[in-house]
Amino acid sequence: MLQFDFAVQEMWSFIVVLIRTAAILSALPLLGARNVPTRIKVTLSAGVAIILTPVVDIHFVPDMLQPLTLLMGLAAELLIGLTLGLGTRLLMASVEMAGQVMGFQVGFGFAQAVDPATQLQTPVFGQLLTVLATLLYFQLDGHHLILLALGNSFTLIPPFGAHLQAPLLVDIVQLIQGTTNTGLKIALPVIGATFLIHLTMGILGRLVPQMNVLVTSFPLTISMGLLVLGFGLPMIALIFQQSLIGLERVLWDLLTELGRG
């Protein structure tokens, strides 16, 4: 009987770890993309859960295995994983937003292609910056940061111990604001350069009415946008690196708010 109870405890411990792991991995760059086969996602989530289950200390009491309590608890575990994945997803969303803004300013708003990661139409600049951010994310060991946060989550939040609090919503709103600020910082050089070109062409259009400003401005805007983007790639990488470093503090705050009973 003791061995049976132990097996039940281990099985539910694995399920709890698996749900948290699968939820957070679904938001990771590249690994959580739609074009990644489901078998690979399931296998990866199960592999990480198998490694973490003996490490984390999880204890169940008999009341926690009641059907209603079990259902609500598993939903809470899913919430924890999605909250952890939210920080990473919003970080990548800031880069995608910057690419969309830059593409629109340069004149690539109509030149869109299907992004294989999201299966949505994305401007060319957005795809370029998304690929760059994904490479930087793994080069800077961002996936290790997520795995570390996943392991620490079991210390801060016991199984079925997540609670929705008002400060959590405040942290999420601040995270969204930070995402917007990061995207604007990345897109600001191209926005400034194209604004100066549009201002100059507007003045020339007034001074020389015979000039076709619309036709003339397109090659100038595209050339200047590509030039500024090329010279600004090191700055974009630096901004993304700083945002990724700050992600550790963000994830810790989110876990702390979820663990407050």
Select the more confidently predicted residue: 198 or 67.
198
121 φ/ψ angles, rounded to the nearest 5 degrees: -75, 125
Q: Which of 45-49, 117-121, 143-147 has the lowest mean pLDDT?
A: 117-121
Strand residue runs (E) in 106-236: 112-115, 120-123
202 φ/ψ angles, rounded to the nearest 5 degrees: -65, -40
Q: Which of 37-41, 42-46, 200-204, 210-214 has the lowest mean pLDDT?
A: 210-214
Contact 243, 182 (CB under 8 A): yes
Residue range 125-132: mean pLDDT, rounded: 79
Residue 222, pLDDT above cutoff 50: yes
Residue 56, pLDDT above cutoff 50: yes
Residue range 222-241: mean pLDDT, rounded: 85
Select the more confidently predicted residue: 64 or 210.
210
Single-letter residue type at 214:
L
Q: How confident is the model at residue 151 (pLDDT cuts 50, 70, 90)?
A: confident
Q: How confident is the model at residue 64 (pLDDT cuts 50, 70, 90)?
A: low
Q: What letter does residue 212 receive in the DSSP assignment? A: -
Residue range 24-35: mean pLDDT, rounded: 73
Give the per-residue pLDDT at 110.
Answer: 59
Looking up tokens 């800077």, which residue turns up? 140
Select the more confidently predicted residue: 116 or 123.
123
Residue 2, pLDDT above cutoff 50: no
Percent of the chain with pLDDT over 70: 82
Q: What is the mean pLDDT of the chain?
A: 77
Q: How far apart (Å, rounded) are the C-alpha atoms in residues 174 and 257? A: 14
Residue 96, pLDDT above cutoff 70: yes
Residue range 212-233: mean pLDDT, rounded: 80
Q: 150 is written with which tokens?
A: 């996943």
